[in-house]
């Protein structure tokens, strides 16, 4: 770690060969996860003491009060029967593919027996891509563009259900001509005040927010934002109106078509949006290893979600999905 920035070859593996050498077994993986989980050193959740004994299986026992804490408790790795090194390989694979991976691609690379397992892993990792308590968009000198957009090819559930468009709320930072970070969420009630709730969840109070001037956005001022609405523009000019947002919307649409290959069901759309956001906001990361580090760092701060909590739907066009695998 140099000035708070993780370093390649020190804090995270530089190459796949590094990965294999660093993480030969569960013990090495647990040690690494422990470092990510307690960057300032271990502290007992009960008495806050720092001294501990390792008691095997990633357990740490507080020397002061005897409380046992598991390195993986509350994370997606908790009570997994798969060796952690396999999880690490999955994280490496997911973060090293620029456009993302399909469950079939993951199944092939890791040699999983079932597609269902690979699918469940991908969804767990997607959940880990959202950092709890992450930073809000906006702030001094940064404009945030806010609008809804429609993503096609989303199925409303069920086998062979007709595909439809889903409404996605987008917030995109614009710093001069440069596009910054983004946030996205599914709109359950398009055109409603829901987008104002979204704005409050993702945009820092006091920020300058640009919209197309639709009626509902007038309330932004009352919510503590500087709202600039572009009145009198025709709908056809929307692209020049919110250039950052429309660029991101079109990239997102292209990604859902190019990477996912088959219809996304609307209940899973939030996970795909999380993955897209994770990749987009780290698009300038020069090192793939840094993405690996960030994803694991976020994973140790995520709740466990057993497969049964994720709605399993049989993939609708498996054969077609295989075409674009890396
Ligand atoms: Zn203690």
Q: Residue ranges per domain, the chain?
A: 16-126, 143-253
The CA 9 to ligand 1 mean position distance, Å, reads 33
Query: 47 CA to middle of ligand 1, Å?
Result: 4
CA distance 48 to 226: 43
Which range, of 65-79, 89-103, 145-159, 201-215, averages the lowest pLDDT? 145-159
- Has residue 221 got a pLDDT over 90? yes
Tell me the β-bridge partners of 144. Answer: 173, 209
199: CB partners within 8 A, 6+ apart? 146, 171, 209, 220, 223, 225
DSSP track, 245-258: HHHHHHHHHHHHHH
* Cα separation, 69 vs 54, whole angstroms: 10
pLDDT score, position 115 = 87
Stretch among 57-61, 96-100, 295-299 having the lowest mean pLDDT = 96-100
163-175/178-186 β-pairing: antiparallel
Query: What confidence tier does 132 reach under pLDDT thresholds 50, 70, 90?
Result: low
For residue 12 the two structure tokens come to 């995270």
Could you tell me the distance, in angstroms and rounded to a whole number, from the CA of residue 19 to the centre of ligand 1?
Answer: 33
Q: How far is the CA of 43 from the centre of ligand 1 (A)?
A: 8
Collapse the DSSP code of 9 into the 3-class scheme (helix H, G, I; strand E, B; otherwise coil) and give the result.
coil
What are the helix (H) ranges across the chain?
Answer: 16-22, 26-37, 84-96, 103-110, 115-128, 194-202, 238-241, 243-260, 269-281, 288-299, 318-321
46 CA from centroid of ligand 1 (Å): 5
Non-local (6+) Cβ contacts of 176 within 8 A are none
What is the greatest pairwise CA distance in the chain? Answer: 68
CA distance 170 to 147: 6
pLDDT score of 148 more than 70: yes
Q: Where are the beta strands (DSSP E) in the chain?
A: 52-54, 59-62, 68-70, 143-155, 163-175, 178-186, 208-211, 226-229, 264-265
Kindly give the distance from the C-alpha atom of residue 71 to the centroid of ligand 1, in angstroms, as a whole number: 15
Whether residue 94 is predicted with pLDDT greater than 50 in this model: the reply is yes
Around ion ligand 1, which residues have CB less than 5 A away?
A: 44, 46-47, 49, 62, 64-65, 67
Does residue 88 contact residue 29 with C-beta atoms inside 8 Å? yes
Give the residue-averaged pLDDT of 304-308: 47
Average pLDDT for the chain? 82
Residue 279: pLDDT band (50, 70, 90) is confident
pLDDT surpasses 90 at 322 = no
**Percentage of residues in the chain having pLDDT higher than 90:** 39
Instruction: Tell how far the Cα of 55 is from the centroid of ligand 1, in angstroms.
Output: 14
pTM exceeds cut of 0.85: no
Distance (Å, rounded) from C-alpha 193 to C-alpha 217?
Answer: 8
Rounded Cα gap, residues 263 and 284, in angstroms: 29
Task: Pick one of 3.40.50.2300, 3.30.365.10, 3.30.420.10, 3.30.70.360 as the CATH number of 143-253.
Answer: 3.30.420.10
What does the chain come to in residues?
Answer: 326
- The answer to which of 163-177, 215-229, 258-272 has the lowest mean pLDDT is 258-272
Average pLDDT over residues 18-22: 96
Question: Quick one: pLDDT band at residue 149, thresholds 50, 70, 90?
Answer: very high
Task: For residue 239, name the pLDDT band (cuts at 50, 70, 90).
Answer: low
Q: Which of 63-67, 165-169, 182-186 has the lowest mean pLDDT?
A: 165-169
Residue 138's nearest CA partner among 184, 171, 169, 187 is 171
- Whether the CB-CB separation of 270 and 185 falls below 8 Å is answered with yes
């Amino acid at each position: 770690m140099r000035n708070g920035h993780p370093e390649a070859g020190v804090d995270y593996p530089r190459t796949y060969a590094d990965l294999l050498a660093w993480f030969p077994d569960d013990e090495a993986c647990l040690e690494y996860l422990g470092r990510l989980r307690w960057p300032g050193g271990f502290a007992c959740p009960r008495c806050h003491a720092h001294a501990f004994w390792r008691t095997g299986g990633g357990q740490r026992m507080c020397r002061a009060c005897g409380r046992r804490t598991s390195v993986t408790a509350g994370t997606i790795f908790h009570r997994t029967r798969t060796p952690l090194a396999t999880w690490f390989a999955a994280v490496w694979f997911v973060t090293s593919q620029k456009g993302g991976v399909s469950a079939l691609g993951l199944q092939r690379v890791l040699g999983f027996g079932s597609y269902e397992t690979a699918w469940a892993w991908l969804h767990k990792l997607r959940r880990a891509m959202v950092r709890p308590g992450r930073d809000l968009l906006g702030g001094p000198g940064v404009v945030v563009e806010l609008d809804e957009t429609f993503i096609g090819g989303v199925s409303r559930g069920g086998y062979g259900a007709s595909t439809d468009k889903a409404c996605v709320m987008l917030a995109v930072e614009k710093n001069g001509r440069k596009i910054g970070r983004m946030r996205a969420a599914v709109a359950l009630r398009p055109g409603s005040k829901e987008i104002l709730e979204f704005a409050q969840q993702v945009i820092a109070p006091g920020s300058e927010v640009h919209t197309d001037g639709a009626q509902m956005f007038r309330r932004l001022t009352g919510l503590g934002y500087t709202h600039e609405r572009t009145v009198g523009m025709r709908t056809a000019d929307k692209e020049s109106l919110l250039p950052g947002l429309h660029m991101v919307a079109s990239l997102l649409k292209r990604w859902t078509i190019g990477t996912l290959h088959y219809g996304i069901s609307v209940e899973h759309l939030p996970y795909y949006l999380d993955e897209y956001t994770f990749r987009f906001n780290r698009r300038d990361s020069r090192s793939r290893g840094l993405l690996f580090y960030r994803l694991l760092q976020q994973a140790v701060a995520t709740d466990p979600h057993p497969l049964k909590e994720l709605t399993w739907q049989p993939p609708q066009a498996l054969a077609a999905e295989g075409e674009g695998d890396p």
